[in-house]
């Protein structure tokens, strides 16, 4: 499903300063697998997520998803790949506070220009799934943290993506909301989603439905 082969990623800060974020990474994630990338901030977890999502390209090596070499995709095709395959769950939700719940969830569908019936069917499916239907017309700025979390997860799933990427998803949540998010992950895995979570939150460690925990340190897999 997802394969990273001999991946190195460097960033040039200036002419005399090059930072190596990832060093010779080899990682394979099977379809329907849920893996947790764990490690301190700066260990390289987010860099791996960025490569899987084709938000950045490796300095060397290959990223292959569903037999497609996504690390070589031109930017416009990379955007299509993300739209069709990836659901993002961000640390800070990245919701537009001046829009309603409905409008935020529907945003990923805009490039597809679906007809009204199709869009509404997809909207209702995820609002029911993540129990946010009663807030359809509410503005994001008027929601609680837990409600905003559910909107963000519904938005990530409105296109029914194969892959869910979650980057430090509980960093801004209290323990109760973090545990609720973990139960939602359990449900998404049961639906057959392939899920990659980057976190240093110990609540994710030792969960019975996580297939693998992979530790990172200074850009390498430990």
pLDDT tens for residues 89-107?
Answer: 987 888 999 999 999 999 9
Residue 217 pLDDT level (bands cut at 50, 70, 90): very high
C-alpha distances in Å from residue 10, one per residue of 14, 17, 62, 104, 127? 12, 10, 14, 34, 40
Q: What is the pLDDT of residue 64?
A: 96
Q: Mean pLDDT of all residues in the chain?
A: 93
Q: Is the pLDDT of residue 144 over 80?
A: yes
Candidates 97, 89, 92; CA nearest to 172 is 92
Closest CA to 156 of 93, 79, 75, 198: 93
Report whether 163 contacts 194 (CB < 8 A). yes
In sequence order, the 6+-apart residues with CB closer than 8 A to the CB of 5 are: 26, 61, 62, 63, 64
CA distances from 25 to 45, 103, 149, 218, 220 (A): 11, 39, 31, 12, 6
- Encode pLDDT of 74-94 as tens digits: 988 999 999 899 999 987 888
What is the pLDDT at residue 88?
92
Beta bridge partners of 194: 163
pLDDT band at 149 (very low <50, low <70, confident <90, very high): confident
The reported pLDDT for the residue numbered 38 is 96
User: What is residue 112's predicted lDDT score, i.e. its pLDDT?
Assistant: 83
> What's the pLDDT tens digit per position in 34-69?
999 999 988 999 999 999 999 999 999 999 999 999
> Quick one: 73 exposed, middle or buried, by C-beta within 10 A (0-12, 13-18, 19+)?
middle
> Dmax over Cα atoms in the chain, in whole Å?
56
pLDDT at 44: 95
Which CATH superfamily hosts domain 2-221? P-loop containing nucleotide triphosphate hydrolases (3.40.50.300)
pLDDT at 15 over 80: no
Per-residue pLDDT band for 194 (boundaries 50, 70, 90) equals very high
Residue 17 confidence class, pLDDT cut points 50, 70, 90: confident
Q: What is the pTM of this model?
A: 0.91
Rounded to an integer, the average pLDDT of 133-142 is 93
pLDDT score of 8 more than 80: yes
Domain ranges in the chain?
A: 2-221
- Distance between CA atoms of residues 118 and 26, nearest Å: 40
| Gap between the Cα atoms of 85 and 163, Å rounded | 6
| pLDDT at residue 100, rounded to an integer | 96
Q: How far apart are CA 63 and CA 54, in angstroms?
A: 9
Question: Is residue 176 over pLDDT 90?
Answer: no
């Amino acid at each position: 499903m997802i394969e990273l082969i001999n991946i190195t990623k460097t960033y040039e800060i200036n002419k005399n300063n090059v930072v190596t974020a990832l060093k010779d990474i080899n990682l394979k994630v099977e379809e329907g697998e849920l893996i947790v990338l764990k490690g301190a901030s700066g260990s390289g977890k987010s860099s791996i997520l960025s490569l899987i999502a084709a938000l950045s390209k490796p300095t060397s090596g290959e990223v292959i998803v569903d037999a497609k070499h996504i690390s070589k995709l031109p930017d416009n095709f990379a955007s299509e790949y993300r739209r069709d395959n990836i659901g993002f769950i961000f640390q800070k939700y990245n919701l537009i506070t001046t829009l309603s719940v409905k409008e935020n969830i529907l945003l990923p569908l805009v490039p597809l220009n679906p007809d009204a019936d199709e869009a509404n069917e997809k909207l209702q499916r995820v609002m029911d799934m993540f129990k946010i239907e009663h807030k359809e017309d509410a503005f994001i700025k008027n929601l609680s943290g837990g409600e905003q979390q559910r909107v963000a997860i519904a938005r990530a799933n409105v296109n029914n993506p194969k892959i869910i990427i979650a980057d430090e998803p509980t960093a801004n949540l209290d323990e109760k909301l973090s545990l609720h998010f973990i139960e939602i992950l359990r449900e998404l895995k049961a639906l057959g989603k392939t899920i990659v979570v980057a976190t240093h939150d110990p609540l994710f460690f030792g969960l019975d439905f996580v297939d693998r925990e992979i530790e990172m340190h200074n850009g390498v897999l430990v």
